[in-house]
């Protein structure tokens, strides 16, 4: 098995999100009634019909389990899930163009449209090119609210201008263990960026995972945002690599990582909170050379697959916590077959 580099073991995914509003309608929180919201859904669905691959999910027509599973996969927000009256999403999870990713267009969330594209690894530029092409196609049929001075008009002033957020999901166990995240967050903020948890603003850093994204959207162009976020991410990757060096010769950390692998290989049941701790330790073990795997990205795919809603969706309906814990453990045992201890020395 080849040795993984620092970017591969630190960068999980890249996401580009564009906020857009239709010029002929009030912002979603000011819509006259649900009928207006449904009109917007129909207009966006029609505009996207030529793109191919997108499937429409209306929040008032799908089950809570399906809605939560889509949310867990970062394709829609919790805010959209709550908008049962006139919320919807267009989703394409079967993209074949490299780098392969997941595309979603949330309709009537905070803005009329929230276009977002998520790809594995550090791929901000390819992700932007893909979403820009879709945005251009939508603009042929939809008249976006735009001002020559302010740029794209958005419900929240912090999104004015480009309406673009570029974010990267990072795995930062070294900086977390050394209690350096608070200082890093302060420094990143001074550079015009923000660090949040797995599900954005107000969410927790599950499994030592953090999102880094731009805060400034007004007065700068898209290329500037992409370059600045990329620069910040590469600096954080370097800092994380330096932090991990403190643990390479630590037998205690090696033992934690190896024990975590043992648990995931043999457990009969496991809660999601324990799973997050164990999978983080396994990933750290691979990054430090204590463990070996041929597919590091599979760990993050497993993390999504064993969330409660995704387990329920896979088994056609809600189940109790005990049943989910047993099913989660079975998935872990299967996924860990190819992970093994690295020889010492």
CATH number of the domain residue 197 falls in? 3.30.590.10
- Tell me which H or E stretch contains 192: none
Residues 65 and 309 sit within 8 Å (Cβ to Cβ): yes
Q: Which candidate, 220, 224, 225, places its Cα nearest to that of 165?
A: 225
Mean pLDDT of 110-121: 96
Domain end point (choices 190, 218, 244)? 244
Helix, strand and coil content of the chain, in percent to the nearest 5, comes to: 45, 20, 35
The domain boundary, picked from 220, 244, 268, lies at 244
Residue 1 counted as domain residue: no
Q: Is the pLDDT of residue 113 over 90?
A: yes
Show the 3-state SS of 111-133: CCEEEEEEEECCCHHHHHHHHHH
Q: Which residues contact 32 (CB under 8 A, 6 or more apart)?
A: 26
143 has pLDDT over 70: yes
Q: Are 266 and 323 in contact (CB under 8 A)?
A: no
pLDDT at 205 over 90: no
298: domain range?
A: 251-341
pLDDT value, residue 204: 53
Same domain, 54 and 133: yes
> Do residue 204 and residue 283 come from a single domain?
no
What's the average model confidence in pLDDT over 208-231? 94
Residues near 88 by beta carbon (within 8 Å), at least 6 away in sequence: 41, 44, 45, 56, 57, 58, 59, 106, 107, 108
Statement: residue 220 has pLDDT above 90: yes
- Shortest CA distance to 110 belongs to which of 210, 30, 205? 30
Q: What is the pLDDT of residues 149-178, one digit of tens each?
A: 999 999 999 999 999 999 999 999 999 999
pLDDT band (50, 70, 90) for residue 253: very high
Examine the domain organization and report whether 41 and 182 are in the same domain. yes
At residue 202, the pLDDT reads 47
Average pLDDT over residues 90-108: 80
Q: How far apart are CA 287 and CA 174, in angstroms?
A: 10
Return the H-helix or E-strand segment holding 146.
strand 146-147
What pLDDT does 203 receive? 46
- The reply to whether 161 and 274 lie within a common domain is no
pLDDT band at 196 (very low <50, low <70, confident <90, very high): confident
- Domain count across the chain: 2
In the chain, the largest separation of any two C-alpha atoms, in whole Å, equals 69
> Is residue 178 one of the residues assigned to a domain?
yes
Predicted confidence band of residue 197 (pLDDT cuts 50, 70, 90): confident
SS3 299: helix
Q: What is the mean pLDDT of the chain?
A: 92
Q: Which of 80-89, 109-118, 172-181, 310-319 has the lowest mean pLDDT?
A: 310-319
Three-class SS of 31-93? CCCHHHHHHHHHHHHHHCCCCCCCEEEECCCCCHHHHHHHHHCCCCCHHHHHCCCCCEEEEEC
287-317 pLDDT, tens per residue?
999 999 999 999 999 999 999 999 998 887 6
Last residue of a domain, one of 215, 244, 273: 244
Q: Does a structural domain hold residue 92?
A: yes
Looking at the fold, whether 199 and 259 belong to one and the same domain comes out as no
What's the mean pLDDT in 203-226? 88
18: helix, strand or coil = strand
Are 138 and 159 found together in one domain? Answer: yes
Judgement on whether residues 231 and 317 belong to the same structural domain of the protein: no
The yes-or-no verdict on residue 209 having pLDDT over 50 is yes
**Span 112-136, average pLDDT:** 96
Assigned domain for 85 exists = yes
**Rounded to an integer, what distance in angstroms lies between the CA atom of residue 43 and that of residue 46?**
5
Please report which helix (H) or strand (E) contains residue 328, including its range.
helix 321-335
**Model confidence band, residue 324 (pLDDT cutoffs 50, 70, 90):** very high
């Amino acid at each position: 098995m080849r040795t993984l580099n620092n970017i591969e073991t630190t960068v999980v995914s890249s996401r580009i999100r564009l906020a857009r509003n239709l010029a002929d309608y009030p912002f979603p929180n000011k819509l006259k009634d649900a009928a207006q919201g449904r009109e917007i859904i129909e207009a966006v669905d029609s505009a996207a019909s030529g793109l191919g691959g997108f499937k429409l999910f209306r929040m008032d027509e799908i089950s809570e389990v399906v809605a939560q599973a889509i949310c867990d996969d970062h394709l829609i927000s919790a805010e959209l899930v709550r908008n049962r009256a006139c919320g919807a999403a267009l989703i394409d999870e079967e993209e074949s163009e490299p780098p392969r990713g997941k595309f979603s267009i949330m309709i009537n969330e905070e803005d009329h449209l929230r276009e977002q594209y998520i790809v594995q690894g550090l791929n901000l530029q390819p992700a932007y090119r893909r979403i820009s092409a879709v945005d251009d196609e939508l603009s042929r049929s939809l008249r976006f609210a735009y001002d020559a001075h302010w740029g794209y008009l958005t419900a929240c002033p912090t999104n004015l201008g480009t309406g673009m957020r570029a974010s990267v999901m990072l795995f930062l166990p070294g900086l977390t263990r050394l209690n350096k995240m608070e200082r890093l967050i302060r420094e990143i903020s001074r550079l015009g960026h923000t660090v949040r948890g797995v599900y954005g603003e107000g969410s927790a850093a599950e499994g030592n995972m953090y999102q880094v994204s731009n805060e400034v959207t007004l007065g700068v162009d898209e290329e500037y945002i992409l370059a600045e976020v990329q620069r910040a991410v590469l600096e954080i990757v370097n800092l994380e690599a330096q932090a991990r060096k403190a643990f390479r010769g630590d037998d205690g950390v090696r033992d934690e990582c190896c024990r975590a692998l043992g648990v995931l290989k043999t457990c009969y049941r496991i809660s999601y909170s324990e799973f997050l701790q164990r999978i983080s330790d396994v990933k750290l073990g691979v990054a430090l050379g204590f463990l070996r795997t041929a597919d590091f990205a599979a760990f993050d795919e497993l993390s999504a697959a064993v969330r409660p809603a995704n387990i329920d969706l896979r088994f056609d309906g809600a189940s109790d916590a005990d049943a989910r814990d047993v099913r989660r453990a079975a998935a872990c045992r299967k996924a860990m077959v190819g992970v093994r201890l690295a020889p010492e020395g």
